[in-house]
Amino acid sequence: MIMKYPSETDKNRKLWKYFFPVTETKVQTEDMSNNFLDTNDYKAIVREDSSKLISIQKKSYKLVSNLEVIEPVLSQLNNLTTDWIIDESHSFVEDGRMRLQVTFPELTLNDGRSDIALSLFIHNSYDGSEGVRMFWGAIRGICSNGMVFGEVLAKFYARHTSGIVVDNLVEQVEATYEQIPVIKQRIDILQNLEPTEQLKDQITKQLGRGIADYIEEQETPANQWKLYNYLTYYISHLVQQRMRAQYQMKVSRLFEL
């Protein structure tokens, strides 16, 4: 696979570790006579720089490199009039999958405590765990709490687009920022709701006993927004980076945010 690398800039220097070359190779099986035969049902995904096997996939699997995902996003972001940064607080890359966080420090909302900047989370994998995905969320500046606004923005995108499309990412950033009042409205509602026993039970059931025990050790949350921030703090500081996305999405659904 021939890979065209982006130009060397301060922002791109943080991305080189994502751009290791990958390729597809044939998979062989051994028959009863100990002969090795090519199979057309599967293919191997391999790192070209180390020849390391990443995964075995069905022949229908479409390999999309991290470079092919990230480079068009960067190209679109460079057309923005607002600043953006590669945010490593909730980014990670492994052989099998990656998550890249892009934060827009000038596009913020305020919950009465501090500014919360919008972030775009970009996902890809070579191990079949997930496809190319993008989610909108946010990052609280004072403590790097990561949030995903999967529920409230999903309703908006269902009405207006089929999701986040790289070709019109500039318009998507602008449209998402215009939805901040909707996000703020949901936060206001959470700030006026008491945590229910049913919600606490769902936290234990969906997020695990460890997170539930952590919540019990904290000062009793005055409202659901406070409880939400306990959870995002735990996820952002005590959960491994590669596991954070799934927890953030679960919390997004639990609090309809």
- What's the token pair of residue 116? 């919360």
Please report, for the chain, the start and end positions of each structural domain, with discontinuous segments joined by +. 10-58, 65-257
The pLDDT tens digits for 233-256 are 999 999 999 899 999 999 999 999
The pLDDT tens digits for 139-184 are 987 788 899 887 777 655 555 444 556 777 888 888 888 889 999 9
pTM (two decimals) = 0.86
Residue 21's pLDDT is 94
**Overall residue count recorded for the chain in this entry:** 257
Return contacts of 244-247, CB within 8 angstroms, 24+ apart.
Answer: 244/90, 244/99, 244/146, 245/99, 245/121, 245/123, 245/135, 245/148, 247/207
The pLDDT tens digits for 93-126 are 999 999 999 999 999 999 998 999 999 999 999 9
The pLDDT tens digits for 188-226 are 999 999 999 999 999 999 999 999 999 999 999 999 999
Of the candidates 195, 187, 237, 144, the one whose C-alpha atom is nearest the C-alpha of residue 204 is 195
Taking the CA of residue 200 as centre, how many other CA atoms within 13 Å lie in the half-sphere pointing to its CB? 12
